[in-house]
Amino acid sequence: MTITRRSLLTAAGLTSVLALAACGGGSGSDQVVRSSTAATPAGSSAGGGMATVGLTYIPNIQFAPFYVGIEQGYFRKRGADVAVRHHGAQEGLFTAIASGQEDLVIAGGDEMIEARAKGLDLVAVASYYRRYPVELIVPADSPIKTPADLKGRSLGVPGRYGESWLGALAMFKAAGITDQDVRVTEIGYTSQAALATDKVDAVMGYANNDTVQMRLAGLDVRSIPLTATGEVPLVSISLVTTRKYLQANPARVRAVADGMLDGIQTMASDPEQTIKDSSRHVPNLADAKAATAARATLDATVKVMLTKDGAVSGRLDPAQWASMTAFMRSQGLIAKDVPAADAVAAGYVSR
Which residues span the domain enclosing 34? 11-131+235-343
For residue 351, being part of any structural domain is answered with no
Q: What is the pLDDT of residues 245-303, one digit of tens each?
A: 999 999 999 999 999 999 999 999 999 999 999 999 999 888 888 999 999 999 999 99
CATH of the domain at 203: 3.40.190.10
Position 93 in a domain: yes
pLDDT of residue 49: 84
Evaluate if residue 181 carries a pLDDT over 60. yes
Residue 30: pLDDT above 80? no
Average pLDDT estimate for 104-117: 95
User: Is pLDDT at 186 greater than 70 in this prediction?
Assistant: yes
Tell me which of 165, 199, 224 is where a domain ends: 224
Kindly report, residue by residue over 134-152, the tens digit of the pLDDT. Answer: 999 999 999 999 999 999 9
What amino acid is encoded at 278 in this protein? S
Residues 79 and 196 both lie in one domain: no
Q: Tell me, what's the pLDDT at 161?
A: 87
Q: Is residue 350 part of a domain?
A: no
Any domain includes 348: no
For residue 71, tell me if it sits in a domain.
Answer: yes
CA distance 5 to 236: 12
Q: For 208, left (φ over 0), alpha (ψ -120 to 50), or beta?
A: alpha
Mind listing the pLDDT tens digit for each residue in 35-93?
A: 433 333 444 333 348 999 999 878 999 999 999 999 999 999 999 999 999 998 788 99
**Per-chain mean pLDDT for the chain:** 88
Helix (H, G, I), strand (E, B) or coil at 87: strand
Q: 267 lies in a domain?
A: yes
Examine the domain organization and report whether 180 and 277 are in the same domain: no
User: pTM of the full predicted structure?
Assistant: 0.86
Of 18 and 351, the one with more pLDDT: 351
pLDDT grade, residue 34 (50/70/90)? low
53 and 125 fall within a common domain: yes
Residues in contact with 169: Cβ distance below 8 Å, sequence separation at least 6, in sequence order? 179, 331
Query: Is 127 in the same domain as 178?
Result: no
* Count of structural domains within the chain: 2
Whether 110 and 152 share a structural domain: no
Any domain includes 79: yes
Which of 224, 245, 278 terminates a domain? The answer is 224
Domain end (from 194, 224, 254): 224
Cα–Cα nearest to 242, from 65, 102, 83, 85: 102
State the average pLDDT over residues 201-212: 96
Residue 78 lies in a domain: yes
Residues 122 and 240 in one domain: yes
